[in-house]
């Protein structure tokens, strides 16, 4: 039972952070993250990873670059690469 709860919690976190492919274009004006300004040093790298489908925005179209990177997220990104 505990394993089932952990799996359900993990799936909830994945969908909350927008890591599911179904949310790829949710709220994206012009195919970019709404919280990464064009003058940011990482803009072109983030856009490239977005265009390749490695990075997926949250449901609100955000990258949330100020949030810590979880090992789960890193594993998903590396797998997509």
CA-nearest of 12, 31, 27 to 58 is 27
Q: Domain containing 55: what range? A: 2-80
pTM of the model: 0.59
Give me the long-range contacts of 48-51 (CB less than 8 A, separation at least 24). Answer: 49/77
pLDDT band for 42, please (50, 70, 90 cuts). very high
Model confidence at 4: pLDDT above 60: no
**What does the pLDDT average to over 12-37?**
60
Structural domains in the chain (count): 1
């Amino acid at each position: 039972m505990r394993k089932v709860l952990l799996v359900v919690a993990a799936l909830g976190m994945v969908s909350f952070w927008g890591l599911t492919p179904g949310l790829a274009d949710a709220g994206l004006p012009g195919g970019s993250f709404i919280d990464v300004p064009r003058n940011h040093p990482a803009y072109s790298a983030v856009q490239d990873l977005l265009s390749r489908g490695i990075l997926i925005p949250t449901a609100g179209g955000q990258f949330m670059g100020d949030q810590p990177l979880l090992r789960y997220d890193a594993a998903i990104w590396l797998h997509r690469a």
